[in-house]
């Protein structure tokens, strides 16, 4: 399993010359997912060579303009290019359906259908979408409006499967895939079969990416959803550590060091700082601040790409 993450826009509030508004492209071979759709998202997609027709899912964190004002134009372009395939959109229930419907009404009679998943974020993790080898979860971020922090989870094969051994143990073929993807199963006779009994284990079989929605003050709910082997946490870092913490948090945002503390407590592998204010010309300064708390950290730049494998 290989997942590519491309940061199309990493700014906050207003666009800058080198830092567009929030949008992240996730590619897993089957899907092309957008996390938020800030103004300018179409131009960035063109720059990385991805047609709007190829986008399969759009997960909107919240309904502030810097995260959604690129969506109407994107939908219009899809219609003008003759898109036929369904498009999946998720977002908070406080307006996502009306916003999408209003955008589609401007288009006229679009040739494709939009499936909308309204998500009521809460402090406990909720399943939003379950597809073949992919699961989307949501938890409430700490912002000034309802805000979904998303966990994107892929389950894939953990190593080479030994069918002969599975037959020797009397494991039904219907359970082979679950074992191959790292699940423990219980047979009808009560025996417990672990993946390592029939698989030459090479890895965890799990790819997990957590996105705070770009906007959040530090919160336990994001720590909780990030636990359990997240390779990547993409966290709000609107401000530098020199700013007043209580003021920043009341605005529903985080500083570089706040994001680092969340990453450290959650035990993630890598932290990416995003939603960076254009007041900072050199985002590496924020990464340097965060690295005093959590070593494996980078500051996102527009068009930067990362690859994660299971």
pLDDT tens digits, one per residue of 155-204: 888 889 999 999 999 999 999 998 998 889 999 999 999 999 999 888 77
Backbone angles phi, psi at 304, to 5 degrees: -70, 140
pLDDT digit string, tens, across residues 36-48: 999 999 999 999 9
d(CA 217, CA 147): 11
d(CA 275, CA 258): 13
Active site includes 224? no
Q: Check if the beta carbon of residue 259 is closer than 8 Å to that of residue 277.
A: no
Backbone angles phi, psi at 112, to 5 degrees: -135, 160
pLDDT at 309: 84
Of 28, 36, 66, 215, the catalytic one is 66
Q: Which fold has domain 2-156+205-309?
A: Metallo-beta-lactamase; Chain A (3.60.15)
pTM beyond 0.75, yes or no = yes
User: What is the average pLDDT across 218-241?
Assistant: 96
Q: Check if the beta carbon of residue 1 is closer than 8 Å to that of residue 296.
A: no
Domain regions of the chain by residue span: 2-156+205-309
Say which DSSP state 241 is in.
T
């Amino acid at each position: 399993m290989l997942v590519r993450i491309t940061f199309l826009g990493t700014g906050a509030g207003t666009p800058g010359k080198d830092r567009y508004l929030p949008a992240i492209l996730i590619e897993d071979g089957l899907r092309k997912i957008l996390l938020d759709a800030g103004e300018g998202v179409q131009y960035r997609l063109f720059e990385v060579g991805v047609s709007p027709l190829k986008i399969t899912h759009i997960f909107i964190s919240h309904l502030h303009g810097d995260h959604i004002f690129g969506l109407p134009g994107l939908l219009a372009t899809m219609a003008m290019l003759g898109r036929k395939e369904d498009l999946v959109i998720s977002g908070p229930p406080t307006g996502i359906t009306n916003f999408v419907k209003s955008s589609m009404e401007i288009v006229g009679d679009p040739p494709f259908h939009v499936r909308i998943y309204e998500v009521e974020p809460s402090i406990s993790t909720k399943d939003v979408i379950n597809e073949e080898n992919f699961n989307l979860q949501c938890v409430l971020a700490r912002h000034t409006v309802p805000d979904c922090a998303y966990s994107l989870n892929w389950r894939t094969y953990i190593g080479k499967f030994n069918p002969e051994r599975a037959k020797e143990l009397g494991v039904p073929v219907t359970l082979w895939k679950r074992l191959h993807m790292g699940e423990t199963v219980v047979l009808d006779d009560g025996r417990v079969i672990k993946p390592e009994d029939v698989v030459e284990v090479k890895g965890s079989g799990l790819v997990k990416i957590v996105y705070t929605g770009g906007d959040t003050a530090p919160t336990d709910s994001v720590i909780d959803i990030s636990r359990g082997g997240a390779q990547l946490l993409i966290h709000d870092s609107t401000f530098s550590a020199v700013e007043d913490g209580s003021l920043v948090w009341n605005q529903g945002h985080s500083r570089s060091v706040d994001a680092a503390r969340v990453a450290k407590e959650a035990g993630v592998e890598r932290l990416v700082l995003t939603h960076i204010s254009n007041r900072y010309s050199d985002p590496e300064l924020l990464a340097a601040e965060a690295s005093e708390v959590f070593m494996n950290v980078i500051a996102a730049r527009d068009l930067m790409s990362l690859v994660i494998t299971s």
